Amino acid sequence: MTPVRSPGWFTDPLDELLMRYWDGRHWTFHTAERPEVVAPRVEPPKPPEAPPALRPDIAHAVSRVSGLLMGSMKEVNLLAGFLRPEERVLALTGAQGEGFGVLACTTQRLVFLFVGIVRKQFLEVEWNQAKAAVFNRSTKFLAVYTTRPTKRAVPAMAVKVSNVSDAHAIVHAAEAASAAPRLDIV
């Protein structure tokens, strides 16, 4: 049984290189060469764009990190957008809050930034509010207090810093930048 279709030129059922005219009821003797199908030109993939250059103060702080910034370069690249125009980064390191991000000591505050797929975390403590910063070597937590640190005091910020030398760099930068009377490493 011949398929029902309207009249027109179609691929010849016996020779795929030809077009044959269908009159609506029967194939006719009228044929033509099938036009060549030109494959669309495929553009080569573009090389990935270079990430934007880091601010000089952030780039300098990144170059001094002794530990790994394991998975936190996204946050490092976003950090400039969270800083004030007059603020400069003195030291930074990879740290863990609700996710793995970056902890930065600036001329005005201590900042933690984590940007995940579903959630984001931004913590900050201004130096004029900080009373103490304590790094515990056994737990590897850096806690910043806005009250006198006691056993019952709740830190304004607490993040885990795996690399001890980077934690020392953050604490020393904090001592230089802050008016905090006491910054301890226990």
Please write the tens of the pLDDT for every residue from 85-142.
999 999 999 999 999 999 999 999 999 999 988 889 999 999 888 888 888 889 999 9
CA distance 66 to 64: 6
pLDDT at residue 172, as a whole number: 83
pTM score, whole prediction = 0.68
Domain count, the chain: 2
Q: Give the Å distances, CA to CA, from 70 to 88, 110, 162.
A: 23, 20, 11
Question: Do 91 and 145 reside in the same domain of the chain?
Answer: yes
Q: Could you tell me if 20 and 108 lie in one domain?
A: no
C-alpha pair distances (Å), 68 with each of 74, 112, 151, 155: 13, 16, 31, 25
Residue 109 inside a domain? The answer is yes
> What is the C-alpha to C-alpha distance for residues 69 and 59, in angstroms, rounded to an integer?
13
How many angstroms separate the CA atoms of 7 and 144, rounded? 82
132 is a domain residue: yes
Nearest-angstrom CA–CA distance, 51 and 68: 19
Residues 96 and 150 in one domain: yes
Domain extent, residue 6, equals 1-37
96 and 145 belong to one structural domain: yes
Which phi and psi angles does 170 have, rounded to 5°? -65, -45
Residues 129 and 166 in one domain: yes
The answer to whether residues 67 and 119 belong to one domain is: yes
Please report which confidence band the pLDDT of residue 180 belongs to, taking 50, 70 and 90 as the band edges.
Answer: very low
The three-state secondary structure class of 140 is: coil
What is the CATH classification number for the domain harbouring 136?
2.30.29
Q: Is residue 61 part of a domain?
A: yes
